[in-house]
Amino acid sequence: MADIPPPPDRNEPSTHEGSDITRSRPDSPKDKLQRLLLSQQQIRENKEKIISFSQPILWQKENPIFFPKTINVIQGKAGVHKSRLAETVCAALLKTPESNRDLLDFKRNILTRYAVCYVDTERNLSDQLPYSLQQIQLKAGYPIEDHPYGFDYISLLEFAREERFEMLNMYLDHIRKKFPMHLFIILDVITDCVFNFNDTKDSMKLIDMMNQTINRYDVTFLCLIHENPGSTDKARGHLGTEILNKASTVIQIGFEKDSRNHNTNLIKINYLKCRSSRKHDPFFAEYSDKEKGLVLADPNTIKDAFDSRAQKAALDETIEIISACLSEEMQKSELIEKLCLAMNCKERTIETRLKAIITHKLVIPDANGSVHTLCKRQEGKEVIYFLSD
């Protein structure tokens, strides 16, 4: 191995022929072997050392979120503030020492400089994208008329889909030379960066390019992707499946549901994958008109949402037991006794649930698939409960 030249500096653009992301000609077999042996030599040299893992780029409170030279994902349904969450991440990385804005408790590694490069594919160029970029600057502590060094952005919206992969490649080569620091690149949304996100070849070409980039240069990717309508956590297309496999951190954002399964104003930010750390607990946010972005949710808002969900779960359990035990009319005292024993509840709690089931005419299915409602009538001093069709 002595005749193999040393690998290029990982922090500088490579001068080895054929090593740029975009190549003017295909590698020859000899070139490919040389690249393979160069990477082998680099692995060998690193294996000889005590491994010191990189410090995180960004924390949320005490939790490490993004690490250098990784691929990361924010996923969610349309309209759940994926881009606003990405705005907050960007602002935290660009934040000035003078800024006192609370950015969802995101904090960057202050010992490293970052260039934030935003690649947008969806918003118009007249107001939507410029407004989002303004919000990043304001949250980071810059006036909108400034052009902070290390904050770069482009739109691929005006390019045809079959051109976007090539244009993204060209842009990555350009910003590597423009910014001699760690690049944090946001792809919003990643499925629009390829011709067909359901095509295996198109998907793997983009993912392979990102993997090559993070291994050769000081680059980290944050990819935004929509979830399939109707699914719980499935990102769109073949590209969505593959990007989640390759990602180091996967964050899911979505609205919490109320007791009737309707969206509330409470936004849950959940960690589906944390390769470089333990899996963190979710945290909650809400949209603020005053801040024009996401803020940490008020504890009372979180409590109210969970109380509502708990009440719904309790009513569902009560309905299930009533369906099983109330095949015939039953006195109130007997029914409450059965329910108290089955659910380990106090009599007053059961009475409250029975009242809610009757008041809201909640449906009670039986074993045959028929549905009923809970009713009661007075017979002298006794109250009789029964199911009515």
- Does residue 36 form part of some domain? no
CA distance 316 to 43: 57
Residues 211 and 339 in one domain: no
Q: Facing residues of 221 across strands?
A: 71, 185
Residues 105 and 164 in one domain: yes
Point out the domain boundary residue: 297, 331, 366.
297
Average pLDDT estimate for 23-48: 84
The CATH number given to whatever domain includes residue 356 is 1.10.10.10
Q: What are φ and ψ of residue 185, in 5° steps?
A: -110, 125
Contacts of 160-168 with CB under 8 Å at 24 or more apart are: 161/192, 161/194, 161/195, 161/196, 162/195, 164/121, 164/192, 164/193, 164/194, 164/195, 165/193, 165/194, 165/195, 165/202, 165/205, 165/206, 165/209, 166/22, 168/119, 168/193
- Does residue 312 form part of some domain? yes
Residues 291 and 376 in one domain: no
Confidence at 320, pLDDT banded by 50, 70, 90: confident
Confidence at 21, pLDDT banded by 50, 70, 90: very low
292 residue type, one letter? K
Residues 158-180: tens digit of each pLDDT = 999 999 999 999 999 999 999 99
- Does residue 82 form part of some domain? yes
Residues 94 and 228 in one domain: yes
- CA-nearest of 73, 75, 104 to 89 is 104
Residues 239-251 as b or e (16 or more Cβ within 10 Å = b):
bbebbbebbbbbb
- Does residue 259 form part of some domain? yes
Residues 212-239: tens digit of each pLDDT = 999 999 999 999 999 988 766 789 889 9
Confidence at 96, pLDDT banded by 50, 70, 90: very high
Residues 50-64: tens digit of each pLDDT = 877 788 999 999 999
Residue 316 vs residue 267, higher pLDDT: 267
Residues 321 and 291 in one domain: no
The CATH number given to whatever domain includes residue 171 is 3.40.50.300
Residue 8 vs residue 120, higher pLDDT: 120
The pTM score is: 0.74
Residues 317 and 285 in one domain: no
pLDDT over 50 (residue 358): yes
Top-ranked range on mean pLDDT: pick from 40-44, 118-122, 344-348: 118-122
Residues 169 and 233 in one domain: yes
| Domains identified in the chain, total number | 2
Average pLDDT estimate for 120-136: 96
- Does residue 281 form part of some domain? yes
Lowest mean pLDDT among 64-68, 242-246, 262-266, 359-363: 359-363
pLDDT over 50 (residue 2): no
Give the orientation angle of helix 200-216 with respect to helix 161-178, to 10 degrees. Answer: 0
- Does residue 243 form part of some domain? yes
Lowest mean pLDDT among 6-15, 143-152, 296-305, 367-376: 6-15
Residues 128 and 243 in one domain: yes
pLDDT value of position 319? 86
Confidence at 389, pLDDT banded by 50, 70, 90: confident
CA distance 276 to 350: 47
Confidence at 310, pLDDT banded by 50, 70, 90: low
Residues 195 and 211 in one domain: yes
Residues 293 and 331 in one domain: no
Point out the domain boundary residue: 254, 281, 297.
297
Confidence at 93, pLDDT banded by 50, 70, 90: very high
Residues whose CB falls within 8 Å of the CB of residue 316, separated by 6 or more in sequence, listed in order? none
Residue 356 vs residue 154, higher pLDDT: 154
Q: What are φ and ψ of residue 62, in 5° steps?
A: -95, 5
Residues whose CB falls within 8 Å of the CB of residue 86, separated by 6 or more in sequence, listed in order? 74, 186, 188, 222, 224
CB atoms within 10 A of CB 81: 21
Residues 270 and 316 in one domain: no
CA distance 164 to 193: 5
Edge-first strand order for the sheet with 58-60 is: 63-66, 58-60, 106-108
pLDDT value of position 201? 93
CA distance 8 to 11: 9
Residues 196 and 134 in one domain: yes
Confidence at 259, pLDDT banded by 50, 70, 90: low
- Does residue 278 form part of some domain? yes
CA 244 to chain centre: 11
Query: DSSP code of 193?
Result: G
Is the Cα dihedral 52, 58, 63, 67 positive or negative? negative
pLDDT value of position 110? 85
Average pLDDT in the chain: 87
Exposed / middle / buried, residue 200 (Cβ in 10 Å: 0-12, 13-18, 19+): exposed
Residues 19-43 as b or e (16 or more Cβ within 10 Å = b):
bbbeeeeeeeeebeebbeebeeeee
Point out the domain boundary residue: 297, 322, 353.
297
Provide the residue range defining the domain that includes 97.
58-297
Tokens of 112: 């490293």
- Does residue 7 form part of some domain? no
